[in-house]
Amino acid sequence: MTRIIVRCVVVFAVASFLAACGASTQGPTTWLDRPLDGATVPLGPVTIQAHASDVDGVAVFEFFVHDNPLVTVPAEGFRLCEATSGWNPTEPGTYNIYARATDSQGNVGPYATSKVTVG
């Protein structure tokens, strides 16, 4: 009886260890470096810069203005990556800029957001 209990404990411990070693299903953490949330920028070309971090490596960035896709930028596949994109707003106003990243396993992370005023 003691052997059965010991075997069950060993099997459970090995199974728990192997489950913990599996691939992450969480997407990258992304943040916007510029423009910062709450910034005011002049009407004209704006550089959008984001970083993302993920243990599986960052594969791609996506940039959006409001709900409209702006551009997809490939990443280098490292744990910490950076991407930039140009954006040329056509009129003054308040805009929501979003960025998110996908890791090398296809897991998509949450959006990073900056609300900026143009003009």
Query: Containing domain of residue 101, as a range?
Result: 24-118
What band does 19 get if pLDDT is binned at 50, 70 and 90? very low
- pLDDT of 17 over the 60 cut: no
Give the global pTM: 0.79
Q: How far is CA 7 from CA 10, 11, 67, 113, in A?
A: 5, 6, 55, 51
Residue 39 lies in a domain: yes
Q: Which of 14-23, 25-34, 50-59, 93-102 has the lowest mean pLDDT?
A: 14-23
Helix count and strand count (H, E) for the chain: 1, 8
Structurally, how many domains does the chain consist of?
1
Residue 98 lies in a domain: yes
CATH of the domain at 94: 2.60.40.10
Residue 5 lies in a domain: no
Which residues, 6+ apart, have CB-to-CB distance to 3 below 8 Å? none
Q: Containing H/E element for 111?
A: none
Interval 38-87: pLDDT, tens: 999 999 999 999 999 999 999 999 999 999 999 999 999 999 999 999 99
